[in-house]
Amino acid sequence: MKLQRIWNNLKTLFSRKSAKRLPKNTRKKPKKAGKKLIISAPEITPKRPIAAITEFSLVQLSHHTQRAYKRDLHDFLAYLRLNNWIDHWGTISAAEVAGYRDHLTTVKGLAKSSVTRKIAVVKSFYKWAIAQNWVDRNPAELIRAYPQTQESKTGFLADKEIQALLSYFPDLRVLGMSSALGKVCVETLLMLGLRRSEAVAIRAGHLEFSDNRWTIEIQGKGDRSRRLPIPPRLQQTWAHWFTRINEEAPISSSLSDCPKEWVDWGNRHHDQPLLISTRASHFRQALSDSEVGRIIRKTGIKAGLINRLSPHMLRATAITHALDQGATHRGVQQMAGWTSPLMITRYDKRRNDPRHSAVHNLSYGRLIAKESNGPIPEARPSDADTNV
């Protein structure tokens, strides 16, 4: 009984009911924990690389840009696949991207400008992937590329080469279909300074006659358009060519002979392409970019040109000769369809030629004509010699 009583006393002593409590007004209330605003990072959802590249290329405006970006990024994936990194393309390091840059230079042997372009595409791709929550960082952001040079490696044609190329073709009306198409391609690129993609996009509906002159609307890069005057020689070539590929085209020696009839025809056949594919069964299919390059190269060989001819070489030739003939930079920029005049320096192929140096314009550098052939005057002693 005594042990039972002691046990009960201990239970009462340590019981919560008998514990001393503070007064109600002095009792400390536990602090309520403040609600913390927790912003969770967006969840990274990796995507298959091929699907990611396709989606990235589709957001570009130009079809040619889409194709070029796809080609550059597939080269990058081929390098990742070669090193077994394709499965974790979203978590590669900057060192691995730097290895790709060195691979392009040493193994592939690409020019520095091409390597710089491919690295820039990889940077843009990962920047887009971050915005889509496919990756959490850009491994190519800090990769140094080669500095871009202002010197373009594209060649140009000299005056004699231009004459040889243009005189190679006789009258278009006596040429075969493929030779006639070659004449139209060469003269269009050379006389308007167009890109090949701009030339294949020309339609009959782009012709316009206003203020007693013919112009053509050119669809350029970035969905930008510009209007260029059509030279008289090209008006004649186009008139013979349209008459040949379209039965309803007016029969005339030049577009200027009957402009009203040509305008009406262009409105009725606005989808008629200028450069048509001779491989198609009809004359409504436009020529492709690759076919233009093939035709220009083949024409250069037949005309006896030593250097390999390309569409871009014809464009550079037009820009260079326009500058030689005194064209303003503003006029050349409008003809070429550039948003920045800085590109003029790259395409001016004769800017380093000493024959065009501004030194020749310094009048005080010329010889002064002598009035008589008298004896050469004696040298005048200097002040220092006199003092001695």
> For residue 353, what are its two tokens?
């030629």
What was the pLDDT predicted at 30? 55
What fold, for 159-347? hpI Integrase; Chain A (1.10.443)
- Name which of 223-227, 246-250, 344-348 the model is least confident about: 344-348
Over residues 193-203, the mean pLDDT reads 94
Give residues with Cβ within 8 angstroms of 227, minimum separation 6.
208, 215, 216, 217, 218
Q: Percentage of residues in the chain with pLDDT exceeding 90?
A: 54
Q: Percentage of residues in the chain with pLDDT exceeding 70?
A: 80
Count the helices and strands in the chain (H runs, E runs): 15, 3
> H-helix or E-strand containing 260?
helix 259-268
User: What are the distances in angstroms from CA 322 to CA 50, 193, 348?
Assistant: 45, 10, 9
Nearest to 162 by CA among 294, 324, 293, 345: 324
Confidence check: pLDDT of 299 > 90: yes
Q: Measure CA 60 to chain center.
A: 12
What was the pLDDT predicted at 388? 42
Other C-beta atoms closer than 10 Å to the C-beta of 3 total 7
Over residues 48-71, the mean pLDDT reads 88
**pLDDT tens track for 62-118:** 787 888 999 999 999 999 999 988 888 888 999 999 999 999 999 999 988 889 999
What is the residue extent of each domain of the chain?
A: 49-131, 159-347
What was the pLDDT predicted at 347? 76
- Name which of 7-16, 276-285, 302-311 the model is least confident about: 7-16
Pick the CATH number of 49-131 from 1.20.1260, 1.10.150, 1.10.3470, 1.10.10: 1.10.150
CB 305 within 8 A of CB 161: yes
**pLDDT tens track for 121-147:** 999 999 999 999 999 999 999 898 887
* pLDDT mean across residues, the chain: 84
Confidence check: pLDDT of 309 > 50: yes
Confidence check: pLDDT of 382 > 90: no
CA 224, CA 272: separation in Å to the nearest integer? 21
**pLDDT tens track for 359-370:** 877 777 777 655
Residue type, 210: S
CB 116 within 8 A of CB 109: no
> H-helix or E-strand containing 301?
helix 289-302
* Confidence category of residue 31, pLDDT binned at 50, 70, 90: low
Region label for 64, one of left (φ > 0), alpha (ψ between -120 and 50) or beta (otherwise): alpha
Who wins on pLDDT, 349 or 373? 349
Residue type, 88: H
Q: Hey, which residues does 213 pair with through a beta bridge?
A: 210
CB 230 within 8 A of CB 238: yes
CB 331 within 8 A of CB 209: no
Confidence check: pLDDT of 189 > 60: yes
* Confidence category of residue 344, pLDDT binned at 50, 70, 90: confident
Over residues 248-252, the mean pLDDT reads 93
Over residues 183-195, the mean pLDDT reads 95
Confidence check: pLDDT of 29 > 60: no
- Name which of 4-13, 312-321, 341-350 the model is least confident about: 4-13
Q: What is the DSSP letter of 285?
A: S
